[in-house]
Chains A and B, each alone.
Chain A
Amino acid sequence: MKTVLYEEVLPPGGMWSMRVRRHRRLVLTTLAPGGNVSALIYNHEQPLDRLNLPDTLKALHTAKLHTGHVLMSDMGRALASVTADSTGWHDPLGGCIDAGLVAEKFGTLDYQSARNDFHRNARDNFLVELAKHGLGERDIVANINFFSKVVVDDAGRMQLDRAAAPEGASVELRAEMDILVVLANCPHPMHPPGDCPRVPVRVELSDGAPPEAGDFCRNFRPECARAMALTERFYL
Chain B
Amino acid sequence: MSTLIYTESALRPENAIYRKVIPSGEGWIHRVEPGQFLRIVDLEGNQAADTFFFHADDVTERYSAQDTIREQGAIYLTTGTRLVSNRRRPMLTITADTCGRHDTLGGACAAESNMVRYSLDKRFMHNCRDTFLLEMARSGHPVTKRDLTHNINFFMNVPVTPEGGLKFDDGVSNPGKYVEMRAEMPVLCLISNCPQLNNPCNAYNPTPIEVIVWEAA
Give residues in A with beta carbon < 8 Å to B.
Answer: 48, 52-55, 57-64, 72, 74-77, 89, 93-96, 98, 100-101, 137-143, 151-158, 189-190, 223, 226-227, 229-230
Contact = CB atoms under 8 A, between A and B. Distances in A.
A57 B166 contact: yes
Interface of B: 1-2, 60, 64-67, 69-70, 73-76, 86, 88, 101, 105-108, 110, 112-113, 115-117, 119-120, 129, 145-151, 158-162, 164-168
Contact of A48 (B88, B117, B146): B146
A211 B191 CA distance: 39
Contacts of A189: 70
B105 to A, nearest CB: 6
Max chain B Cβ within 10 angstroms of own Cβ: one of A101, A158, A190: A158
Given A62-B165, A230-B116, 11 more contacts: A54-B150, A59-B116, A60-B166, A61-B167, A72-B113, A93-B105, A153-B162, A156-B2, A156-B160, A230-B112, A230-B120
B82 to A, nearest CB: 15
Contacts of B129: 74
Contacts of B116: 55, 59, 72, 76, 223, 226-227, 230
A76 B113 contact: yes
Nearest to B111: A76
Q: Which among B70, B120, B129, B148 has the greatest number of chain A C-beta atoms within 10 A?
A: B70
A61 B110 CA distance: 17
22 contacts: A53-B107, A54-B65, A57-B106, A57-B166, A62-B164, A74-B110, A76-B112, A76-B115, A89-B164, A93-B66, A93-B75, A94-B66, A95-B64, A141-B150, A142-B64, A142-B66, A143-B66, A152-B75, A152-B162, A156-B160, A158-B73, A226-B116
Given A89-B164, A154-B2, A48 B115 contact: no
Contacts of B101: 156
Nearest to A89: B164
Contacts of A76: 110, 112-113, 115-116
Q: Which of A76, A139, A223 has the most C-beta atoms of chain B within 10 angstroms of its own C-beta? A: A76
A138 B147 contact: yes
B91 to A, nearest CB: 15
A226 B115 contact: yes
Contacts of A89: 164
A153 to B, nearest CB: 6
Nearest to A88: B164
Contacts of B147: 138
A154 B164 contact: no
Contacts of B107: 52-55, 57-58
A55 B113 contact: yes
Contact of A229 (B76, B120, B167): B120
A58 B166 contact: yes
Contacts of B149: 141-142
B166 A61 contact: yes
Contacts of B166: 57-58, 60-63
Nearest to A53: B150
A229 B120 CA distance: 9
Contacts of A57: 105-107, 166
B164 A151 contact: yes
Q: Which among A52, A63, A77, A190 has the greatest number of chain B C-beta atoms within 10 A? A: A63
Contacts of B64: 95, 142
